[in-house]
A = this chain, B = another copy of it.
Amino acid sequence: MTQHSNTELKPHVGLDEAGIAEVLQALQEQPEALDALLTPLHPADIADVLESLPRADRRVLLEHIDQEHVGDILAELNDGVREDLLAEMTPREVAQAVEELESDDKADIVQELEGDQQKAVLRILRDKDSKKLATYDPETAGGLMQAEVFAARRTSTVGDVLKQIRKDSGDLPENIGTIFVTTSKNELVGTVSIPRLVKQPLRAKLEDVMREDPLKFTPEAPQKDVVDVFEKYDMHNCAVVDDKNRLLGRITIDDVLDVVLEDREREAYRAAGLDETEDLFAPLHETAWHRFPWLVLNLFTAILASIVIAFFDDAIAQLVALAVLMPIVASMGGNAATQTLTVTVRALSAKQINSKNAWYLLRKEVLVGSLNGLLLALGLAAITGVFYNNWSLAGVILAATVANHLFAALAGYLIPILLKKLGKDPAISAGVLVTTVTDVGGFFVFLGLGAYFLL
């Protein structure tokens, strides 16, 4: 969670494309107007503007920004743009900027720095919390955690805690939400929400009013589990403890929301072989180079399909209709497989597939695939028969389409399950595999049947 140092800054809702364009125009044409435009903006809005700027312009804009807001803005930027800006800052500038941030935001930024810069910044900061937090894998509960928690002993009274909140001069997390109740050895034993606390008699001990046995994570817990638990049980705060149940920190729901939004972005990007941290305004060659490997991978899968076609070049030379129709059969199989794959990947992720229903679901996918395959095949065969006035060709395309749909259902269902068993994330790697298999399969079965029955 980000707390902004200057409470006067109000969210500036509605900095839309036009608002951003206005800032860009000022930047190019009358930089002296920039201050007036930027001053009322929330750091998150300034981050949006920075992300919409070519790299050189970002540095110009940064010079117009109040030093005390740079940390908040860095915390809001996406990774690619942040990296670009951090690379230009001295360790002292970075340390100054992040000093007032919360431990989790600070740790995220420190984690992104290059080796030497990182060491230098940590030396200046002398901040044990962020140093420790920066060592956790960002994809785990530890990576999501912040060290700022409000913990109180089980023997404290409600009155003690309220007094502590009243006396606080800014050390407590602004959004306390939940008080974590601990033993004298800092072991977590319960939680009390602030509204619940207010309702209790002042002399009551926390151990008598707390909810016992709260949910908690160890730092190693995968991020996905954290998201699932927050969603499922409508939690707002959750403790992170070490293997001896000692309180290390907490995870707040706003950080979980950020993680889910980033994940969504990442899924969309990865499906097209892109890096979600990529800066829209990265230099040409950098962008091209990042996109290249996935294109090469796909080139090889396309060549694989072509090798199958080349195998039947005599058949094609004799009956060109085979070449005309073969992409239809292959692409239909790919589409059906994508549907099965999507359903299977989501069901796996929701833990809906288990030993008791795996066979039922396989049978269902195969039947759905065959049924739709048959309907589409009948339509396609009719069109082919009429167009070419060749009903043997129509028969071949009918058989090939049904066979490829069956094959597509099997591939779309079994490949993600197999990948999961092998410990891979099917959401990322299954797509290319499944479409390659149905492409190759589609060409092979159609051209094979054609060569066998029509020539």
Contact = CB atoms under 8 A, between A and B. Distances in A.
Interface of A: 1-2, 7, 10-11, 13, 16-18, 20-21, 24-25, 28, 42, 44-45, 48, 51-54, 76, 162, 165-166, 168, 172, 174-177, 193-195, 198-199, 211, 213, 215, 227, 229-236, 253-254, 256-258, 260-261, 263-265, 267-269, 271-274, 278, 280, 284-285, 287-288, 291-292, 294-296, 298-299, 302-303, 305-306, 309-310, 313, 316-317, 320-321, 323-328, 330-332, 335-336, 338-339, 341-343, 345-347, 350-357, 360-361, 364, 367-368, 371-372, 375-376, 379-380, 383, 439, 443
A7 B193 CA distance: 14
Given A233-B44, A261-B231, A352-B280, A324 B298 contact: no
Between A215, A267, A295, the greatest number of chain B beta carbons within 10 A of the residue's beta carbon is seen for A295
Given A233-B42, A299-B332, A327 B305 contact: yes
Between A1, A42, A194, A235, the greatest number of chain B beta carbons within 10 A of the residue's beta carbon is seen for A194
Nearest to A311: B324
Nearest to A45: B232
Contacts of A213: 10
A342 B256 CA distance: 24
A18 to B, nearest CB: 7
A411 to B, nearest CB: 14
Nearest to A75: B234
A231 B309 CA distance: 50
A324 to B, nearest CB: 5
A175 B76 CA distance: 27
A24 to B, nearest CB: 4
Nearest to A321: B313
B194 A368 contact: no
Contacts of A305: 327-328, 331
Contacts of A280: 343, 347, 352, 361
B356 A288 contact: no
Contact of A352 (B51, B176, B233, B343): B51
A260 B231 CA distance: 10
Contacts of A168: 199
B323 A274 contact: no
Contacts of A272: 335, 338-339, 341-342
A253 B235 CA distance: 10
A320 to B, nearest CB: 4
Between A18, A323, A347, A380, the greatest number of chain B beta carbons within 10 A of the residue's beta carbon is seen for A323
Nearest to A285: B371
A374 to B, nearest CB: 10
A309 B316 CA distance: 13
A332 B298 contact: yes
Given A306-B324, A323-B309, A260 B264 contact: yes
Given A295-B332, A351-B16, A254 B234 contact: yes
A153 to B, nearest CB: 19
A343 to B, nearest CB: 7
Contacts of A295: 332, 335-336, 339, 372, 376
24 contacts: A1-B234, A20-B356, A48-B351, A52-B352, A52-B353, A165-B198, A175-B193, A194-B195, A194-B198, A234-B254, A257-B260, A272-B342, A274-B342, A280-B361, A284-B368, A291-B368, A294-B335, A302-B331, A306-B324, A306-B327, A313-B321, A316-B324, A317-B317, A327-B443
B162 A176 contact: no
A347 to B, nearest CB: 6
A346 B268 contact: yes
Given A198-B194, A233-B44, A347-B280, A288 B254 contact: no
Nearest to A273: B339
Nearest to A328: B302
A284 B317 contact: no
B320 A350 contact: no
Between A233, A336, A371, the greatest number of chain B beta carbons within 10 A of the residue's beta carbon is seen for A233
